[in-house]
Structure 1
């Protein structure tokens, strides 16, 4: 009897155990499946920055400038992605016949030819496609023109140049991520970029640590070369740009009390304001004490000109970053031609002419270069043929930055050798308008020039940037 009771108890326990398993088994499976899903989602979330970054870079396997899409260009990209480089050459060439003013297509066409030949020399360029498309295209035109010229002449030591394009949106954090990826790709020997000084300053320490030369075509913030021996620029620094404008304002326009609008969140704007202020004071002038910050939360463009006039100002300098050009134009509109307008190089854009119209008429700007500075210049003439119109200083400086990289790569094929060539005090190479030489700081040995907004037909807006005589010549 006792034995039977023990058996019954064992059966009952076994029965209960089976019931529990039947009830909990499906739940355990569901939990495990959900756990796997969460793990996969977590992995995907961790991979998102990499996936996002991949969509920001291309040598021809994807389009970055979606504004210039056409079916032929899409076919070319598909062929390139499939490593069918012969078809890619043909399709990119056909796309250029549809739109000859497309620097992205020209770079990818050159890359396709380079891939057909075999081993390439690889450069990269980082531009703000999603931040300011016009500026990005201006820089890409310079890179594309230089790449085309170099490859037509046989490339570098018999190898054609391949260029990877990256889109940093002029956002410092994205610029840092892109710099990290470019440093990892050991085949890249130099980088042409970035555009905005904030982006360049953010990325520079990464290039320095990775021993990859960065040559910015457009960042002029004064402190940039201090960030490392691998950091160079093709454009003049802010002092070289601000001094001619201050000389014009003081000695030619005879302005003695100048109000300044700048961007407190921009390295280049703050640097330009500082150098311009120093140059004005050194000439006996003064800077009006009114506050005008394009980044201020309470920014009110309609009040600024009136406040400046009430405070005794006789001129107004607009020194925005590329990101705050629209706010500078708003101030110009509010000015209604009352104060003499001056501008920094960031305002040398199509947007300024198109949106500013008569309100920016007669504004004088300091820029790195102007196409009319030498009417017989080979670079300017080639650019006119290639792009169907005149180009501005960003295109010229991007062309020069590419030529600098190529000149440094010719005698050396490692990143360290490229840096050593550029650091040599005897380094010199031919640029768009003049010989390119560096100061010991890594700055380019070059002065800015002045342009003035005047009615004209070249830009299609009704107004053009017209070259002014250098102040020293105008005073004679």
Structure 2
């Protein structure tokens, strides 16, 4: 039998561990692609989270506890992302922000549900995430709303025969986007005449561009990240100077213009924020972000900052006995950088969206 004194010592030690845990930093994991093509969205989101954490810490933290960010690069690998979730769980994170792409969201969903870790994704949008009560909370509009908006826009512009390129490295998003686009497009008497996957074979961008152009479509739609969309546009313009090109919302970062140059002039795409919004809250965020990182925030930065706003507010205001997941859905609407932020009963959010076109190297909102 264990001596009573040892039992009391053990209980006291456990009490000290709990007490220290409650007075230590609030640990927030971050998972996104931070290397390779398309990593600008992950980097922008991480920067915004760091900015939000610094601002909270400068104001005394969350109930006196400092916020510590633990970033991890998912390398666009489902296995790597799953390992990171388990590692962050062992490190005792209070929540995770991320991932950025839907394929990684699909990969980690079973793991975060198994471990019970609240995970707030700024950007994942595959429609298959919506309508389920789990530990994944989404800030973004789904592919159902976005892709169908593209379909309607194409018909409005009399682009009834289109070729599409889809990124196989983010198949969960690309396939969901394509199916939602197709449902609406065919309902409106449009037709997809060519469907081409990229990043799934040894086919070069030049080969893919040729396949997209060969059937003389009315327009080409690129469902890929910013760098891949830009590089495809460069190859398409070698074959056709005039064919209209649209890109899915995922491509809408400054890197698209930096790489694409004149090849992306006139390209249309949806944005999840208005980069020219004059409201003081947004303008202050832009100024703070640029001062801290010497770059303009992209869409993933805006959504990640909104994600941090909600998460930090919940951590600060929830009852100690309330589960974080329940507190997330119970939270009243919070003012974000552009709009009110609120999760429904399933942890799904929504965004206002805007069509923009690239003119003279800038994203200009379509009126």
Please indicate, yes or no, whether the TM-score normalized by the shorter chain is above 0.5. yes
1:380 is the counterpart of 2:283: yes
Following superposition, the deviation at residue 453 of structure 1 comes to 1.2
Cα distance, 1:159–1:300 mapped onto 2, change above 3 Å = closer
- 2:112 is matched with which residue? 207
**Could you list the per-position Cα deviations for residues 356-404 of structure 1 after superposition, in whole angstroms to 9, with x for gaps in the alignment?**
11111100011211311x2224133332244145322110001011112
- 1:145 is matched with which residue? 51
In structure 1, distance between residues paired with 2:247 and 2:321: 38
- 2:357 is matched with which residue? 452
SS of the residue corresponding to residue 343 of structure 2 reads coil
- 1:159 is matched with which residue? 65
RMSD: 2.7
- 1:362 is matched with which residue? 266
Cα distance, 1:332–1:139 mapped onto 2, change above 3 Å = farther
In structure 1, distance between residues paired with 2:28 and 2:105: 17
- 1:350 is matched with which residue? 254
Higher fraction of helix: 1
1:336 is the counterpart of 2:234: no
- 2:84 is matched with which residue? 178
CA contact (8 A) 2:133 2:346 kept: no
**Could you list the per-position Cα deviations for residues 322-342 of structure 1 after superposition, in whole angstroms to 9, with x for gaps in the alignment?**
684465345444453331111
SS of the residue corresponding to residue 362 of structure 1 reads coil
- 1:407 is matched with which residue? 313
Following superposition, the deviation at residue 192 of structure 1 comes to 0.4
CA contact (8 A) 1:288 1:311 kept: no
- 1:66 is matched with which residue? none
In structure 2, distance between residues paired with 1:413 and 1:207: 22
In structure 1, distance between residues paired with 2:223 and 2:353: 15
- Structure 2 gaps of 5+ residues are 1-22
Which protein shows a greater Rg?
1
In structure 1, distance between residues paired with 2:265 and 2:282: 28
1:262 is the counterpart of 2:160: no
CA contact (8 A) 1:239 1:272 kept: yes
- Structure 1 gaps of 5+ residues are 1-117, 456-462, 470-476
Cα distance, 1:415–1:203 mapped onto 2, change above 3 Å = farther
- 1:419 is matched with which residue? 325
**Could you list the per-position Cα deviations for residues 212-253 of structure 1 after superposition, in whole angstroms to 9, with x for gaps in the alignment?**
1011112212223467511111122212322333332222x2
SS of the residue corresponding to residue 277 of structure 1 reads helix
**Could you list the per-position Cα deviations for residues 69-118 of structure 1 after superposition, in whole angstroms to 9, with x for gaps in the alignment?**
xxxxxxxxxxxxxxxxxxxxxxxxxxxxxxxxxxxxxxxxxxxxxxxxx6
Cα distance, 1:381–1:298 mapped onto 2, change above 3 Å = same
1:464 is the counterpart of 2:362: yes
Following superposition, the deviation at residue 434 of structure 1 comes to 0.9
CA contact (8 A) 2:139 2:350 kept: no
Aligned length: 341
In structure 1, distance between residues paired with 2:321 and 2:337: 24
In structure 1, distance between residues paired with 2:71 and 2:123: 16
| Partner of residue 129 from structure 1, selected from 34, 52, 56 | 34
1:217 is the counterpart of 2:122: yes
- 1:194 is matched with which residue? 99
| Partner of residue 297 from structure 1, selected from 201, 209, 212 | 201
SS of the residue corresponding to residue 194 of structure 1 reads coil
User: TM-score, normalization: structure 1?
Assistant: 0.65
Cα distance, 1:232–1:167 mapped onto 2, change above 3 Å = same
Greater RCO, CA 8 A, separation 6+? 2
In structure 2, distance between residues paired with 1:293 and 1:144: 35
In structure 2, distance between residues paired with 1:126 and 1:397: 15
Following superposition, the deviation at residue 467 of structure 1 comes to 2.3
Runs of 4+ residues deviating >6 angstroms: 413-416
In structure 2, distance between residues paired with 1:335 and 1:238: 30
In structure 2, distance between residues paired with 1:416 and 1:163: 23
